[in-house]
Amino acid sequence: MNIKMKDIFDQVVLCEKCNVRTIKNYTSLEGFKIRVLECPKCAEIVYHPGDIKEYEEYKKLKTRDFNVKLRMVGNSFCVSIPKEFIDFHKEFEKEFNDLVRMNLDGPGKISMFFYSKKFYNNKEDNIEQ
């Protein structure tokens, strides 16, 4: 027997309260793009279970603190990015881009952004639907 996994979000899903067809949409939880099914009648929202799992993993990793050392390489400084961050990013990104964007975010704070189709990098980024 050949078992094919189908995504429930690709099927017609009815709202259990109203018995009307739900609408596919997206929402954002802390920058996470989460697929949702919305009931047009009662506005009930069902989150995609796979996307919620990713979000939970992210929340776990987010609580961890890493201390890394600055190293001088030529005229620049280098820091080691913990493997966990890269692995996490790679896991959900189909096309991994090793280019990162960096800016001075405030006194004593540098921000670094991976190029990502999956996640919101910042508020100005648009998401293709």
Contacting positions for Zn ion (CB under 5 A): 15, 17-18, 39, 41-42, 44
Minimum separation from the CB atom of position 47 to Zn ion (A): 15
Minimum separation from the CB atom of position 73 to Zn ion (A): 58
Phi and psi for 56 in degrees, rounded to 5? -65, -40
With respect to Zn ion, which residue has the nearer C-beta, 20 or 68?
20
With respect to Zn ion, which residue has the nearer C-beta, 24 or 53?
24
Q: Report how far residue 103's alpha carbon sits from residue 42's, in angstroms, rounded to the nearest whole number.
A: 43
With respect to Zn ion, which residue has the nearer C-beta, 42 or 79?
42
